Amino acid sequence: MALQRSVYTVAARLATDAGRMIDAGDTRQECHRMTTRATATLDPPSGETTATLTRARASIELVTTDSVRAYLHRISRTQLLTAQDEVTLAVTIEAGVFAAEKLRSSDACLQELAPDLRRDLRQIVREGRSARARLVEANLRLVVSIAKRYTGRGLAFLDLIQEGNLGLIRAVEKFDYAKGYKFSTYATWWIRQAISRAMSDQSRTVRIPAHVVEQLNQLTRARRELLHEHGRDATPEEIGVAIGVSTERVIELQGIAREPLSLDQTIGDEGDLRIGDLIEDTGAVIAFDAASAVLMSEQIRHVLSGLTDREAGIIRLRFGLTDGQPRTLDEIGRTYGVTRERIRQIETKTMTKLRHPARIRLLRDYL
């Protein structure tokens, strides 16, 4: 691209000096007209196709809503537990784990257990599993209440619930009733941790480390609380004080929180326009321009062939015709071992030669 610009630059310079500057927008306007005609031949999405896509999206949303409603209805029928119930179930779970370990160790050591003892241990294992399931099911509503706080951050509500349920199961496995805590208090941390980890792994196109996700959650909570307290959006300085980080870190976190947009995402009511259609690709090379640049380069090479090697070399370096990087008079002077004034004199003399109408005529069609 730089070389192509250099070719256009020297041609324009020659034409300008000769008083024959042509409207450089003509060829680009023609190229634009050709592109517009080619684009117009593409068939836009039909109304029937758009309506079908709209109905499909509505069906998916309806199925998701019905699934959430059915799940909430099912878990609402489970009776909540008292603190004593939680302790009783935790004791039963612990006994089941102990019995299962006893059976595994006896099998590993080829130790024969009495039939009655083996039968009792298996019964304790079954009771422990039932107690575990009971403790999990009784706290599914806790997961839902926590998952609601994380909606709108990249994961579907059902996915948040599922990840929270995994954290709940982990809490059941780690709960120590002897410390005197309520199970819901203990499980809340595990549920939040599971949801936060899932969000950091799954919710974004570019994965964010878990500790950064936690800072983003703190920022969101602080922003919400400050809005409720002051009745306006909080400044980065206020948020930084609230969560204990610098203002620069708050600004950095706000940038990280922005979700990337897909260029294929549709916009508008009809859904037939993509974001990528509205963004110009400044680095793209139009085939017409590329071909024109090649032909112009050949013509410039032909024009320069009537000069001496030194004159042609200076012009190539001065306008960057070789590598797209124009050189200063000082740089060219060091290359040829002469002063910048001598290079300027040679350039002026050479440009006078190139202003001949016969040479300008070769380049006129490319401007």
Question: Considering only CA atoms, which of 232, 234, 258 is closest in space to residue 247?
Answer: 234
Q: What is the pLDDT of residue 188?
A: 96
pLDDT at 329: 92
Q: 158 lies in a domain?
A: no
- At residue 256, the 3 state secondary structure works out as helix
Q: Is 128 contained in some domain?
A: no
Answer yes or no: are the C-beta atoms of 191 and 175 closer than 8 Å: no
Domain presence at residue 304: yes
Is 334 inside any structural domain? Answer: yes
pLDDT for residue 284 = 63
pLDDT by 10s per residue, the chain, length 367:
555 555 555 555 554 554 443 344 443 444 344 334 433 433 444 455 455 545 555 554 545 677 888 888 899 988 999 999 999 999 999 999 999 998 888 776 656 778 888 889 999 999 999 999 999 999 999 999 999 988 887 788 999 999 999 999 999 999 999 998 899 999 999 999 999 888 878 877 777 887 888 888 899 899 999 999 999 999 999 999 999 999 999 999 999 888 777 888 888 777 778 888 888 777 665 666 677 777 777 877 877 887 888 988 998 898 887 777 899 999 999 999 999 999 999 999 988 887 777 766 766 655 4
How many domains are contained in the chain?
1
DSSP state of 80: P
Q: Which amino acid is at 307?
A: L
What was the pLDDT predicted at 217? 84
Query: Residue 332's domain spans which residues?
Result: 2-28+284-364
**Is residue 270 assigned to a domain?**
no
> Does the reported pTM lie above 0.75?
no
CA distance 65 to 42: 37
Is 22 a domain residue? yes
User: Can you give 196-242 as a three-state secondary structure string?
Assistant: HHHHHHHCCCCCCCHHHHHHHHHHHHHHHHHHHHHCCCCCHHHHHHH
The verdict on residue 111 lying in a domain is no
3-state helix, strand, coil in the chain (%, to 5): 75, 0, 25
Backbone angles phi, psi at 78, to 5 degrees: -80, 130
Q: Torsion angle, CA of 78/80/86/91, rounded to 10 degrees? A: -20
Please report the pLDDT score of residue 20 as a whole number.
42
How far from chain centre, in Å, is Cα 306?
Answer: 55
Residue 161 Rama label (left phi>0; alpha psi -120 to 50; beta): alpha
Q: Domain of 333: which CATH number? A: 1.10.10.10
Is 160 part of a structural domain of the chain? no
